[in-house]
């Protein structure tokens, strides 16, 4: 059987290219052999008619919760990676806030071994900054690095002790590891469950003020500047927080940052009916924050789009009141269609931005090989139908959990095919 596939008349999306280029793309031996219009169909080559469809590099999510070990009723590496494929994502980075936390070389190695057995796409893992994510003692960073950890983070919690964070950044710098920061000032967040402001007062829900995030962003950036470490700020939600990062970049601080699709699309006003699918940490902020974050993404303040995919069981999310329900929503399966539906289709930004921020730059931050629709690149590809639709029913979704505001909603656009290293992992129609 031939290992050659030819996409005919595909509209190719590339970073840095404002317009889609219509061309044929030939795949052979897991790599892209040729990109040119009018390629001749050789005998034995599988032909995929891609006219009117967008061919883009496989996406890469830098911030995913897979819940393994310890909480596999919510998600595991196998189901989470299949959810990624369902959404056009061909590489993911797992957060370490599992049970037990991934805070040693042995646990990093265990997760990597499970991923090799149970995932059809590359799964990378982070390691904790502090033991058990308790914020008291630094982890054995050298052992986690040698076992394969690609980043350090206590995601879900900040490192409250600035001296401990400083030492961790110094070690991260020496081992050439980015250190990712969940920015929150716990004394300000308290028992808050949503953004503090007019809506939280009206609803009687304790709020999390924007300054809880912004103060921690400023502190962590100052420590990064002092140590020379690469600091990555996770899930930025406020315009002021974004401006702090913008200024730091202008000053030459080695800082990158990410924004989640839900913080671009939704805001505190969506929480009006106490729907726990809109409860996340950091919380949904204001409509003005939405608008300014989108502008910052277009401008280039944000390096990365990442979902913060956070699965929870139906009981946890739907059978508890808003204040008691856990934070977090799923995102791997909904990110590409939602970004297309809300931003690309109406012309807010183009495919080039999505490819740069959700495929190219995340890999670049981790010093991984670039993936592009270009001759010689690994054939990690997504074929997307802009004229199709996607309904996020429980039957459609591959994640074990369906805690998403998009549940049973229809969005424009449809992932028709996903390929990794030339192997077709998903094909519809």
Nearest to 91 by CA among 387, 369, 428: 369
Nearest to 175 by CA among 221, 114, 129, 233: 129
CA 366 to the chain's CA centroid = 13
| 3-state DSSP assignment of residue 28 | strand
Q: Which two tokens stand for residue 6?
A: 């030819």
Q: Please check whether residue 197 is in contact with residue 190, taking contact to mean a CB–CB distance below 8 angstroms.
A: no
Q: Which two tokens stand for residue 406?
A: 């998009």
- Catalytically annotated residues: 308
Contacts of 84 (CB under 8 A, 6+ apart): 61, 64, 90, 92, 121, 332
The residues pairing with 147 across neighbouring beta strands, listed in sequence order, are none
| 3-state DSSP assignment of residue 187 | helix
Q: How many CA atoms lie within 13 A of 108 on its CB side?
A: 24
- Cα distance between residue 173 and residue 305, in whole Å: 24
Contacts of 312 (CB under 8 A, 6+ apart): 74, 325, 326, 328, 401, 403
Tokens 């970049």, residue located: 249
Contacts of 324 (CB under 8 A, 6+ apart): none
Q: Please check whether residue 52 is in contact with residue 60, taking contact to mean a CB–CB distance below 8 angstroms.
A: no
End-to-end CA distance of the chain: 22
CA 223 to the chain's CA centroid = 25
For 68, list phi and psi in degrees, rounded to 5. -115, 125
- Cα distance between residue 336 and residue 145, in whole Å: 31
- Is the torsion defined by CA of 68, 70, 72, 74 positive or negative? negative
């Amino acid at each position: 059987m031939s290992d050659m596939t030819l996409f005919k008349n595909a509209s190719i999306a590339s970073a840095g290219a404002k317009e889609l280029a219509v061309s044929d793309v030939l795949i052979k031996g897991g790599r892209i052999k040729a990109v040119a219009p009018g390629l001749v169909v050789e005998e034995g080559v599988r032909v995929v008619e891609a006219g009117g469809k967008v061919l883009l590099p496989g996406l890469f999510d830098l911030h995913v919760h897979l819940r393994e070990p310890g909480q596999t009723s919510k998600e595991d590496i196998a189901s989470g990676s299949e959810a990624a494929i369902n959404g056009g994502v061909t590489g993911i980075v797992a957060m370490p806030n599992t049970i037990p936390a991934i805070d040693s070389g042995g646990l990093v190695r265990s997760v990597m071994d499970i991923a090799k057995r149970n995932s059809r796409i590359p799964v990378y893992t982070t390691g904790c900054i502090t033991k058990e994510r308790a914020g008291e003692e630094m982890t054995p960073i050298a052992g986690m690095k040698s076992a394969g950890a690609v980043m350090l983070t206590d995601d879900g919690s900040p490192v409250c002790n600035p001296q401990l964070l400083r030492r961790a950044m110094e070690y991260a710098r020496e081992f050439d590891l980015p250190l990712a920061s969940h920015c929150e000032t716990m004394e300000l967040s308290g028992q808050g469950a949503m953004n503090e402001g007019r809506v939280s007062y009206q609803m009687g829900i304790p709020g999390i003020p924007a300054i809880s995030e912004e103060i921690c962003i400023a502190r962590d950036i100052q420590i990064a500047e002092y140590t020379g470490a690469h600091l990555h700020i996770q899930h930025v939600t406020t315009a002021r927080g974004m401006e702090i990062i913008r200024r730091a970049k202008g000053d030459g601080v080695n800082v990158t940052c990410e924004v989640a699709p839900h913080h671009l699309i939704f805001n505190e006003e969506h929480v009006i009916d106490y729907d726990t699918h809109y409860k996340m940490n950091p919380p949904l902020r204001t409509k003005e924050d939405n608008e300014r974050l989108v502008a910052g993404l277009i401008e280039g303040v944000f390096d990365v789009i990442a979902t913060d995919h956070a699965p929870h069981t139906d009981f946890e999310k739907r059978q508890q009141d808003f204040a008691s329900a856990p934070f977090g929503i799923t995102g791997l399966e909904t990110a590409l269609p939602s970004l297309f539906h809300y931003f690309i289709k109406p012309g807010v930004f183009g495919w080039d931005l999505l490819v740069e921020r959700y495929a190219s730059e995340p890999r670049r931050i981790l010093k991984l090989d670039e993936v592009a629709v270009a001759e010689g690149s690994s054939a990690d590809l997504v074929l997307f139908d802009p004229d199709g639709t996607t309904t996020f029913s429980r039957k459609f979704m591959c994640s074990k959990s369906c805690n998403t505001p998009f549940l049973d909603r229809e969005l424009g656009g449809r992932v028709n095919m996903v390929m990794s290293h030339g192997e077709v992992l998903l094909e519809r129609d």
